[in-house]
Each structure stands twice: as structure tokens, then as C-alpha cells.
Amino acid sequence: MKVGLISDTHGLMRPEALAALRGCAHIIHAGDIGDAAILGSLGEIAPVTAVRGNNDRATWAAGIPDYAEVKLGGARVYVIHDLNDLDRSRARDFDAVVAGHSHKPMARTEDGVLYVNPGSAGPRRFNLPISIGFLHIAGSSLAPELVPLS
């Protein structure tokens, strides 16, 4: 199963991000969405799990949760915008944690939990790359992939 990971769009849905996400079985948006239309565009590709970021405070975002738990294939995934808000003891109940906020793409394993930040697919911030990610799930095996967008 191929799961698309996107974060920090801040109201900008890049056509190259949409093109890269085509073919995913599910998409996770890790917050700072910026506009409800972003979720609509992603939802035309695959089912979407999204969380609210610190900038998602307008009325349209009121129903978006601060965190989400989703089972995808054989993997239990926790989604939160800012890793600093994560209760690390709670993370041990999951196979992966997907977060955004920092705009820095990252994938690492700590205490048996895979942590993935797909980076930012929105407006460029400082000299940070524009990127998305994928989570490849085969049974209980997880493989992250970080993809820079040109």
C-alpha cells in the first residue's frame, strides 16, 4: 500500500504535488492546510486523513482534529502537526508517527516507532526544500520515502 504524505501547504496546492500523489491508496495531510480546497483536491485522488495545524484557525478548519489515528494495511499511524505536542509514551502504541510543522523533511526510527515529516509542499520558507513523502506499507513493514519537488 502506498500512502501519500503532505504537510504545510499553507493554501498552496502545487500541481506537481498532486501529480506525485496520484496512485496513492490514502493521503495524510499533517496540518497547516491553509484552505479547505486543498483537502478537496487531495480527496479527488484518495481518502484523506488530515489534522489541523497551528495556522488552521479559520472557520473552515473547526471540524479538523488536532490529531488522528488511522490503520492503514497492517500499520497503526498517528498523525499530529507538531512533534513537540506529542506525548512520546503514547507514540509507542503506533508503528509510525507522521508530523509536519518544521518544514524539514525527515524520517527516523526511535524506540521502534517510525517518525516521518514530509516537509512542506507549500510556499518556500527560508532555504528549505519543497517536498512530499510516501509511506510504503507491506504487512507490518514500513518504508518511508521523501520526495523533493522541483
Helix, strand, coil content of the chain in percent (nearest 5): 15, 35, 45
Q: Kindly report the CATH number assigned to the domain that includes residue 79.
A: 3.60.21.10
Q: What is the pLDDT of residues 106-128, one digit of tens each?
A: 999 999 999 999 999 999 988 99
How does residue 88 score in pLDDT terms, banded at 50, 70 and 90?
A: confident
Q: How many domains does the chain have?
A: 1
Amino acid identity, residue 124?
Answer: R
Q: What is the pLDDT of residues 6-24, one digit of tens each?
A: 999 999 999 999 999 999 9
Q: How many residues appear in the chain? A: 150
15, 37 Cβ separation under 8 angstroms:
no
Which position has the grid cell 524520517?
Answer: 107
51, 28 Cβ separation under 8 angstroms:
no
Assessment of whether the complete model's pTM goes beyond 0.85? yes
What average pLDDT score do residues 64-78 get?
97
Residue range of the domain that includes 94: 2-148
Which position has the grid cell 484557525?
Answer: 57
